[in-house]
Amino acid sequence: MSISRFTSVFALSLALCLAVSTPNLSAQNLSAQSAQELASNSAPVAGSSADDGAAPKLEPFDPNLVDKTLDPCNDFYKYACSKWLTANPIPADQIYWSTGSGLQLWNENLLRETLVAASANDSNRNAVHQKIGDYYAACMDETGIEAAGLKPLQLELDRIAALKSKKDITLEIARLHHMFPGAWQYGDNQTDAPFFGFTGQQDYDDASKVVAQIDQGGLSLPNRDYYIKTDDKSKEILQKYHAHIQKMFVLAGESETQAAADATTVIELETGLAQVQMDNITRRDPKNVNNKMTLAQVRELTPSIDWDVYFMAVKAPASEHYIVTSPAFFRGEEKLIKDHSLAQWQTYMRWQAIHLSAPYLNKALLDENFDFFARTLAGAETQRPRWRRCVNAADRDLGDALGQAYVDRAFPPDSRARTIQMVHSIEAALNSDVQSLSWMSPETKQQAIVKLKGIEDKIGYPAHWHDYSSVTITRDSYLNNVGQATSFEFERWVAKIGKPVDRGEWTMTPPTINAYYDPQLNTINFPAGILQPPFFDPSKDDSVNYGAIGMVIGHEIIHGFDDQGRKFDAHGNLRDWWTADDGKQYDERGKCISDEYTQDVPDAGPGVKQNGLLTQGEDTADNGGIHLALNALEASLKQQGKTLEDKGPDGWTYRQRFFLSNAYSWCANVRPEVTRLIVTTDPHSMPVFRIDNVLSNMSEFQQAFGCKPGQKMVRANACRVW
Ligand SMILES: [Zn+2]
């Protein structure tokens, strides 16, 4: 079961005990100011590109950016955001640009300071400094990478060329799964696992157990629609993909003719796999992917894959049973393996190896990879500075080692304490909401409260850090370092099979600007990276913080009760705890949401439509989350002897400030290419809908800004689940 994130993770395939002690990060400087101080203290790097790494700007809530010439009841997103949007066009190296983007750069700058210090090649470094420092140094060594050319990958290409029969394919799949980040997993936006994905995960029916999960995979484009849809734009992208594969094969040493033929083979095989994949809407229902099989059944499903060899190669412990998310995919894959020659599959594997290693190899491959996956698919004009890409790769591959330093420098205990307090008040708001629901029976209410009380709150960073001592990192080969870190992470997950569940596991690193709900652990997780301005700002009053991070907290809690989350109980088991009638009531309310969000996306070209069935869970979380945050704000103000109607700073009422801060945290310029990507692959709605749809469902908003029936921000058929 994938986790429910707060916002999207764009898999663009661009895509430690660090003792930086900061004892004086005390109550006085825990705030945005301290963040800004740190930012302005960062030494600018040499060079004069637009992004020279100097002092990125954080974007704390600023009520002066409201455009009072516009009508808040017509389009509140524009009212709150248009001045900011005009003043902040998308930088050439970005695919979207939001009020949170400055924070992303700021986090990267901070991490770079740690990495640069650790990369000084001196003998006094501790083991953790050696790993993150040498990882960063190898990534930054463009001269060395250029001189090595394809050499770091050659051994793998030779192995693929030397395969003697289809029986040898299995071992090569295991090798590819060890080499590339994400190459063993199927994620929300990611289909990168060659042939299939494999990992250990909690059992759906008994969340106390970890079992083996075998998932569909095999594609390189963002999802199956890119291969299957037949509209002009989709056909054009597939043609450009063909040209891209051909160029990559040429760069890897093939003739133009051979490369063209091989590109056709790759697309034929990937299209075949896409056709038998389960679509992302069907995958949203956990019942559809909870297919338990015995080992004998798995062997029978896909005899062309030697599962015993694969499990031995990835060191998988025996599993009580195997969850095969999509048996139809594996039946289809079996037929494809049978119907195509070894040579064709060698071409597919050669492509996978070249494609997945491109971000870590020489400039020619890197640029061509960027040209298709970032420029054509996402609209980026230029690559991000190399050091930023290296910082992000280090965060992905050695995240816990780097995360400790980030927490020490950017997340003081007071920020944690204030966040915990907000989480508790928002959980209390859901408790009251559930008690007051007119459509839910007392039996279901009681179960909902049990689940709510069972949620574990995780704030900032994990209680235990991963021990990377078994990972070998050198300054010699970036690609090899990535492979070492990937093997460690892949095998770490596989080794969980048959062992007790580790309730301390996080699936986001501390500097990540995101948050998530995990239905099988029943936890909400807020990395330190998002507990910064504009989302959390200790220098601002409650109305601003509840409107921004408060809504994020409410959103994650509601994920436990959205159309997916409600199917899991307090212990994370897939178990229906709803009465039949309450379940029916829920579905009707959910349908109101999915109908509302099935809509055209303005300014994105003809036929670009958002699918409310894909975004229903996230939309439910957005709608419910803001109600909880507003109720918690009201309770907090009451304790201070104030009401929502009282005027706060800048002349707005606290209620108005709450909604303005909420919208402000979502202001984003989005490239049309990314819009297309979002509506096809992303379970989250477009930013404008995350504000205007939510608020137009809300009488509290309409009251705050005096909106009347008939105006756009007053929806005649308002939806409400939570
Ligand atoms: Zn979410």
pLDDT, tens only, 445-470:
999 999 999 999 999 999 999 999 99
Place of tokens 């017509």: 74
- Residue-level pLDDT at 40: 38
Q: What is the pLDDT of residues 471-496, one digit of tens each?
A: 999 999 999 999 999 999 999 999 99
pLDDT at 640 > cutoff 80: yes
Separation of 554 CA from ligand 1 center, angstroms?
10
Average pLDDT over residues 526-538: 96
Predicted local confidence at residue 2, as pLDDT: 67
Rounded distance from Cα 564 to ligand 1 centre (Å)? 11
Q: Separation of 18 CA from ligand 1 center, angstroms?
A: 31
- CA gap 296, 515 in Å, rounded: 39
Q: How far is the CA of 264 from the centre of ligand 1 (A)?
A: 38
What pLDDT sits at residue 164? 98
How far, in Å, from the CA of 658 to the mean position of ligand 1? 20
Q: Is the pLDDT of residue 713 over 60?
A: yes
User: Would you state the pLDDT for residue 227?
Assistant: 97
- Position 44 confidence tier, pLDDT thresholds 50, 70, 90: very low
- Between 673 and 188, the more confident residue is 673
pLDDT for the residue 10: 44
Q: Please tell me the distance between residue 719's alpha carbon and the centre of ligand 1 in angstroms.
A: 18
Query: Which residues on adjacent β-strands are paired with residue 523?
Result: 456, 518
- 67 CA from centroid of ligand 1 (Å): 29
Please name the residue ranges forming H helices in 225-326.
Answer: 225-228, 232-251, 256-276, 286-289, 295-301, 307-313
pLDDT surpassing 80 at residue 205 = yes
How far away, in angstroms, is 380 Cα from ligand 1 center?
25
Q: How far is the CA of 459 from the centre of ligand 1 (A)?
A: 16
Q: Which helix (H) or strand (E) holds 642?
A: none
> Of the ranges 103-112, 590-599, 601-610, which one carries the lowest mean pLDDT score?
601-610
Contact call for residues 645 and 653 (beta carbons, < 8 A): yes
Using the mean position of ligand 1's atoms as its centre, give its distance from the Cα of residue 511 in Å: 18
Secondary structure of residue 559 in the 3-state scheme: helix
- Find the 5 Cα to ligand 1 centroid distance in Å: 4
Write down the pLDDT at residue 56.
85
pLDDT tens readout for residues 243-260: 999 999 999 999 999 999
Query: Do residues 3 and 507 make contact, with C-beta atoms less than 8 angstroms apart?
Result: yes
How far are the Cα atoms of 247, 368, 397 from residue 269, in angstroms, in the given order? 18, 22, 30
With cut-offs at 50, 70 and 90, classify the pLDDT of residue 19. very low
ω into residue 359 within 30 of 0, thus cis?
no
Going from the C-alpha of 388 to that of each of 93, 376, 395, 407, 428, the distances in angstroms are 11, 21, 11, 19, 40
**Hey, is 623 helix, strand or coil?**
helix
pLDDT band per the 50, 70, 90 thresholds, residue 187: low
Between the CA of 284 and the centroid of ligand 1 the distance, in Å, is 13
- Residue 555 Cα to ligand 1 midpoint, Å, equals 6
Give me 272's structure tokens. Answer: 């075949």
Mean pLDDT within 225-233: 94
Distance 460 CA to ligand 1 centre (A): 17
Query: Ligand 1 centre from 652 Cα, in Å?
Result: 29
Residue 233 Cα, ligand 1 centroid: separation in angstroms?
A: 29
pLDDT at position 32, please?
Answer: 33
Ligand 1 centroid vs 593 CA: distance in angstroms? 15
Structure-model confidence comparison of residues 55 and 11, the more confident one: 55
Query: Does residue 152 have a pLDDT over 70?
Result: yes
683 Cα: distance to centroid of ligand 1 (angstroms): 8
Q: List all residues 6 or more positions away from 85 whose beta carbon is below 8 Å from its beta carbon.
A: 667, 668, 669
Among 30-34, 97-101, 302-306, 538-542, which is the least confidently predicted range? 30-34
Residue 179 Cα to ligand 1 midpoint, Å, equals 30
Q: CA 27, CA 415: separation in Å to the nearest integer?
A: 9
Interval between CA 20 and ligand 1 midpoint (Å): 33
Ligand 1 center–CA 551 separation, angstroms: 11
Separation of 390 CA from ligand 1 center, angstroms? 27
Determine the distance separating the centroid of ligand 1 and the alpha carbon of 526, expressed in angstroms: 12
CA dist., res. 521 & res. 559, Å (int): 13
Handedness of CA 690, 696, 699, 701 (dihedral sign): positive
User: 525 C-alpha to center of ligand 1: Å?
Assistant: 11
Measured in Å, residue 185 CA sits from the centre of ligand 1 at 20
Amino acid at 455: I
Ligand 1 center from residue 4 Cα (angstroms): 5
Taking the centre of ligand 1 as the mean of its atom positions, its distance from the CA of residue 721, in whole angstroms, is 15
What is the widest separation between alpha-carbon atoms in the chain?
78
> Ligand 1 centre and the CA of 86: distance in Å?
28
- 707 C-alpha vs ligand 1 centroid, how far in Å? 28
Q: What is the mean pLDDT of residues 252-280?
A: 97
State residue 41's pLDDT score.
Answer: 36
Q: Can you give the pLDDT at residue 42?
A: 37
Distance 168 CA to ligand 1 centre (A): 41
| Higher pLDDT, residue 197 or 33 | 197
The pLDDT score that the predictor gives to residue 7 is 76
Would you state the pLDDT for residue 33?
34
Helix (H, G, I), strand (E, B) or coil at 231: coil
**In terms of pLDDT, which residue wins out, 203 or 46?**
203
Q: Are strands 4-5 and 516-518 parallel, antiparallel or unpaired?
A: antiparallel
Average pLDDT over residues 268-296: 96
Mean pLDDT, residues 7-31: 32
* Distance in Å, CA 393 to ligand 1 centroid: 24
* 552 Cα: distance to centroid of ligand 1 (angstroms): 8
624: CA distance to ligand 1 center in Å? 11
- From ligand 1's centre to the CA of 478, what distance in Å? 34
Q: Where are the alpha helices (DSSP H) in 411-550?
A: 413-436, 442-454, 478-494, 542-545
Whole-number Å distance, alpha carbon 581 to ligand 1 midpoint, is: 26
Contact 564, 594 (CB under 8 A): no
Separation of CA 562 and ligand 1 centre (Å): 10
Count of residues in the chain: 722
Which residues make up the environment of ion ligand 1, defined by Cβ < 5 Å?
4, 6, 618, 621
Q: Is the pLDDT of residue 48 over 70?
A: no
Residue 646 Cα to ligand 1 midpoint, Å, equals 31
For residue 649, name the pLDDT band (cuts at 50, 70, 90). Answer: confident
Q: What Rg do the C-alpha atoms of the chain give, in angstroms?
A: 25
Q: What is the pLDDT of residue 51?
A: 65
Residue 432 Cα to ligand 1 middle (Å): 22
The predicted-structure confidence for 283-300, as pLDDT tens digits, reads as follows 999 999 999 999 999 999
**What is residue 325's predicted lDDT score, i.e. its pLDDT?**
95
pLDDT of res. 31: 31
Whole-number Å distance, alpha carbon 619 to ligand 1 midpoint, is 8
Give residue 386 CA to ligand 1 midpoint distance, Å: 30
Q: How far is the CA of 549 from the centre of ligand 1 (A)?
A: 13
CA of 446 from ligand 1 middle (Å) equals 25
Going from the Cα of 211 to the center of ligand 1, the distance in angstroms, rounded, reads: 25
- Tell me the CA–centroid distance for residue 515 and ligand 1, in Å: 8
Q: Looking at residues 524-537, what average pLDDT do you find?
A: 97
651 alpha carbon to ligand 1 midpoint, in Å? 32
Taking each helix axis from N to C end, the angle separating 342-357 and 169-179, rounded to the nearest 10 degrees, works out to 10
pLDDT level of residue 28 (50, 70, 90 thresholds) = very low
556 alpha carbon to ligand 1 midpoint, in Å?
A: 6
The DSSP result for 474-487, as a single string, is -SS-HHHHHHHHHH
Q: What is the pLDDT of residue 49?
A: 42
Residue 273 pLDDT: 97
Q: How far is the CA of 524 from the centre of ligand 1 (A)?
A: 11
Cβ(148)–Cβ(352) under 8 Å?
no
% of the chain surpassing 90 pLDDT? 88
- Please count the other Cβ atoms lying within 10 Å of the Cβ belonging to residue 437: 15
Give the predicted TM-score (pTM) of the model. 0.93
329 CA to middle of ligand 1, Å? 27
What confidence score (pLDDT) does residue 602 get? 82
Q: Which amino acid is at 599?
A: Q
Residues 373-395: tens digit of each pLDDT: 999 999 999 999 999 999 999 99
Mean pLDDT of 77-99: 97
Mean pLDDT calculated for residue range 310-322 = 98
Phi and psi (nearest 5°) for 77? -60, -45
What is the whole-number distance in angstroms between the Cα of residue 577 and the centre of ligand 1?
A: 22
Rounded to the nearest angstrom, the distance between the alpha carbon of 521 and the centre of ligand 1 is 16
Q: What's the one-letter identity of residue 631?
A: N
Mean pLDDT computed over 297-316: 98
How far apart are alpha carbons 157 and 654 in whole angstroms? 62
Mean pLDDT to the nearest integer, 172-198 = 81
Integer Cα distance of 431 and 223 in angstroms: 38
Q: What is the pLDDT averaged over residues 156-160?
A: 98
The answer to whether residues 687 and 666 touch, using CB atoms and an 8 Å cutoff, is yes
Burial 541-563 (b: 16+ CB within 10 A, else e): bbbbbbbbbbbbbbbbbbbbbbb
Q: Which residue would you say has higher pLDDT here, 40 or 686?
A: 686
